[in-house]
Chain A
Amino acid sequence: MDTGFGDLIHGFGVALQWQNLVYCLIGVLAGNLVGVLPGMGVLSAISILLPLTYGMPPVGAVLMLAGLAYGAQYGGAICSILLNLPCHPPHAVTCLDGFPLTKQGKGGTALGITMMGAVFGAAFGIIQMIFTAPYIARIAFSFGSAEICSLMLLGLLAGSTLAKGSPLKGVAMTILGLLLGLVGQDANTGVERFTFGIIDLDDGVELVALSLGLFGIAEFLRGVNNTAPIDTAYAKLGVSDMRPSRADMKRAAFPILRGTLIGSLCSMIPGTGPTIASFVAYAAEKKISKTPERFGHGAIEGVAAPESSTHSSVQGDFIPTMSLGIPGDAVMALLLGALIIHGVQPGPRLIIEHADIFWGLIASFWIGNLMLIFLNVPMIGIWVKMLMVPYRFLFPSALFFICIGVFAAKNTLFDVGTTLFFGLFGYLLLLLRFEPAPILLGFVLGPRFEENFRRALVIAHGDLNTFVERPISAVFLALCLLLVGTQVWVRLRGPKTRIPTTLLETE
């Protein structure tokens, strides 16, 4: 057997150790909570918990932080369907049909179908990872520095141009992130760069401080006194409401299947995360429907397809992160950063050298998703109550957690100041319509990018042609050109088929 079921069983052995079960539970529980609470993001939640994992073994840390990433998807759906709040971008499109269903008193049905779609999508994504990730890693074994460099360039370009917002501004943010990643001592020469004489910056900018500034404090500065009052009139629900009728299940079955396939395709293209997957799935479902006029007025297909595609794409996003060390979006960049902090070198060797992490993670996906079902179906009432927590109580508490979380990362108050600085700077970027997410991508990949770039040119005696002469590297560069070319072409042709940006921008 090529993919080794023995490895998977070994993974279950790791994930089922009781402390890892507890870490996984904490992760998915915190993720679900963050997903439900309007105004809290996955990125800030992972960043707050990251310093607390420093004392833990790397396996437990990764299981927990990953649990946050996919756990939040369950909570985010509740928020969209019951409150019409697109607090998580991947679930924004679910509002369109989820909330009308809630208004008709069928919110429970929508959530029930969402759960089914989630389980199916996630299961598909995990299986896809079991079969493709080791295979991709094996191909990548033969990559030299030049190939890795070109591949990273492709990942960075895709991550910045395919996400929401202006592609040009996305690239600018990526470069800004690369520059921020250079702060501190240069690994090759020991020269201090961009430290401005501040000793605390010798080790570089703290990942947690950067991320909590950009995605925590900056979001609070935007959200304070600026959040619409929440309409909780329809958010009443019990367990018994969640069983969908036979007719609904029949109607949702194929949309779930199609959504899952779209999600898994989107996860294969670097840079297209769950948000794009859910929009594409919704659009596709509406297009092939015989009754497209029902969409927007409570069509169950409009909930089933995007939700299952989100889940399959979130799980699939782990594939490039774990097999190549190239994250597709900011959440994965943060997870990769966590691995690096724990001394795990990301890249194709990870699956072999840290088999317990890779297979343990996959096994924990199964366990975590199972836990989430048990957390969400019988306990739906508790989550619905959580929805009522107003933002004006939430953000001051979260600010405290951010301050102490950043402090705990390195036991220095300097980093709390850094966080505030990046918060203010991040808010300035938001005002100027920059999307800060690619900064994290550049920041995490920056040092490895420079290192490989330097090494590739040392090997090639300073000949830049090495990137085009090596065939695999040339293919990646050609893909980069194709990507940029399409973007320019689409832009010049004018925006015709654009995703409704108003929805995307209300985070």
Chain B
Amino acid sequence: MALGGPLYRMSFSHRRDYYAGALMVLVGGGAAIIGSRYQMGSLTRMGPGYFPTVLGVILAFIGLVIAGSAAYVAPAAAEAPSLRPDWRGWLCIAAAALLFIGLARYAGLVAATFVCVFVAALGDRENSWKESALLAAGVTVFGVLLFAFVLHVQIPIFGGM
């Protein structure tokens, strides 16, 4: 099996370790480059840059090994559950968290809680609008009682911070 063979003909599960290794090279390399801008110092008197640079280099090296050994993964071991992109679920979950941030800042706990749960619930294809709204209402009542009145979380119930 030749290293660097025709990648485009491989399935994602075969290319997975190339990507995995590349990601680690990227992160490790980045950390090493940023780390080397801090003062390095010597072994006796280590500066703040020493440890991150060393870690970054090791991580990048491991990334290379991961990518390098990807070619040797037996097909049986590389088999994986089918990978269906689920944009609806992903977008709804990300949007729910972002909306929580925005609404907690400007509209208060009730709005933030309701919208967060409602939007996240819509991410599941089996949830109807009505079910999602009911769930969101339930969590809002419980959540406001618990977090605003019992635990005194620092978000106003209505209105901005």
Give A contacts to B, CB under 8 Å.
Answer: 52, 166, 168-169, 171-172, 175-176, 178-179, 182, 186, 188-189, 191, 193-194, 217, 220-221, 224-226, 391-393, 395-397, 399-401, 403-404, 407-408, 411, 413, 416-417, 419-420, 423-424, 428, 431-434, 450, 453-454, 457-458, 461-464, 495
Q: Is the CB of A407 within 8 A of B104?
A: yes
Residue of B nearest to A403 (CB): B100
Which residues on the B side are within 8 Å of A453 (C-beta)?
Answer: 46, 51
B38 at the binding interface (Cβ < 8 Å): yes
Taking CB atoms, residues of chain A closer than 8 Å to B120 are: 220, 395-396, 399-400
**A454 — which chain B residues lie within 8 A by C-beta?**
46, 51
Report whether A193 and B48 are in contact in the complex, using a CB–CB cutoff of 8 Å.
yes
Q: Give the complex CA separation of A397 and B118 in angstroms.
A: 9
Q: Is the CB of A176 within 8 A of B59?
A: yes
With known contacts A176-B27, A217-B97, A413–B66 Cβ distance under 8 A: no
Instruction: Give the CA-CA distance A419 to B127 in the complex, in Å.
Output: 25
Which listed residue (B34, B52, B62) contacts A168, Cβ 8 A?
B62
With A and B bound together, what is the CA distance between A424 and B125 in angstroms?
A: 20
Tell me if B143 and A400 are in contact (CB < 8 A).
yes
Decide if B48 touches A400 in the complex (CB within 8 Å).
no
CB nearest to A450 among chain B residues: B51
Q: Are A171 and B62 in contact (CB under 8 A)?
A: yes
Binary A-proximity of B48-74 (CB < 8 A = 1, otherwise 0): 100110011011001101100100000
Q: List 29 A-B contacts (CB under 8 A).
A: A168-B66, A171-B62, A175-B55, A175-B62, A176-B27, A191-B39, A193-B35, A194-B31, A194-B34, A220-B120, A221-B89, A224-B89, A392-B126, A396-B118, A396-B121, A397-B117, A399-B93, A399-B97, A404-B147, A404-B155, A407-B104, A408-B153, A413-B101, A413-B104, A416-B97, A417-B98, A420-B98, A432-B16, A454-B51
Provide the main secondary structure of the chain A interface: helix
Instruction: Indicate whether B107 reaches chain A with its CB closer than 8 angstroms.
Output: no
CB closest residue in chain A, given B27: A176
Contact between chains at B104 and A225 (CB < 8 Å):
no
| B93 lies within 8 A of A217 (CB) | yes
B129 within 8 A of A: no
Which B residues lie at the A interface, using CB under 8 A? 16-17, 19-20, 23-24, 27-28, 31, 34-35, 38-39, 42-48, 51-52, 55-56, 58-59, 62-63, 65-66, 69, 77, 80, 83-84, 86, 88-90, 92-94, 96-98, 100-101, 104-105, 112-113, 116-118, 120-121, 123-127, 132, 135-136, 139, 143, 147, 151, 153-155
Q: What is the CA–CA distance of A458 and B66 in the complex, to the nearest angstrom?
A: 34
- B44–A189 touching, CB < 8 Å: no
> B63 — which chain A residues lie within 8 A by C-beta?
172
Say how far B45's CB is from chain A's closest CB, in angstroms: 7
Shortest CB-to-CB span from A114 to chain B, Å, is 29
A-B pairs with the 8 shortest C-beta distances?
A224-B89, A462-B44, A462-B43, A396-B120, A432-B20, A396-B121, A392-B124, A191-B48
Q: Give A457 to B43 CA distance when docked, in angstroms.
A: 7
- Nearest A-chain residue to B139, judged by Cβ: A397
B55 contacts A403, C-beta separation under 8 Å: no
Tell me, in angstroms, the Cα distance from A179 to B84 when the chains sit together.
32
A399 vs B139: C-alpha distance when bound (angstroms): 11
CB-CB under 8 A from A391, the residues of chain B are: 124
Chain A: minimal CB distance from B51 (Å): 5
Given A182-B51, A397-B117, A457-B44, verify A434-B139 contact (CB < 8 Å).
Answer: no
Contact across chains for B105 and A413 when beta carbons are under 8 A apart:
yes
Given contacts A176-B24, A399-B116, 14 further A-B contacts (CB under 8 A): A175-B59, A178-B55, A179-B59, A191-B39, A220-B93, A224-B89, A224-B123, A395-B124, A396-B118, A403-B100, A403-B116, A428-B23, A453-B51, A461-B44
A393 lies within 8 A of B121 (CB): yes
The residues of B that contact A403 with a CB separation of less than 8 Å are 97, 100-101, 104, 112, 116
Minimum CB–CB distance for A463 against chain B, Å: 8
Instruction: Provide the residues of chain B in CB contact with A399, threshold 8 Å.
Output: 93, 96-97, 116-117, 120
Partner of A193, one of B38, B80, B96, B125: B38
**Is the beta-carbon distance between B88 and A225 smaller than 8 angstroms?**
yes
Chain B nearest CB from A430 CB (Å) reads: 11
Flag if A225 contacts B20 (CB, 8 Å): no
Contacts of B80 in A (CB 8 A): 433
Is there an interface contact between B47 and A189, defined as CB atoms closer than 8 Å?
Answer: yes
Instruction: Verify B121–A179 contact, CB threshold 8 A.
Output: no
Instruction: Verify A179–B56 contact, CB threshold 8 A.
Output: yes
Distance, CA A186 to CA B35, complexed state (A): 12
Please determine whether A168 and B28 come into contact, CB atoms closer than 8 angstroms.
no
A432 touches B59 (CB 8 A): no
Contact of A420 among B23, B35, B94, B113 (CB under 8 A): B94
Question: Measured between alpha carbons, how far is A420 from B102 in the docked complex, in Å?
Answer: 13
Residues on the A chain within 8 Å of B17, using CB: 432-433
Bound: A225/B91 CA distance, A: 13
Given known contacts A397-B117, A399-B120, A403-B116, A419 and B97 CB-to-CB distance under 8 angstroms = yes
CA distance A458 to B46 in the complex (A): 8
Interchain nearest-CB distance for B145 vs A (Å): 13
- Chain A residue at smallest Cβ distance from B58: A175
Contact partners of B77 in chain A: CB under 8 A: 495
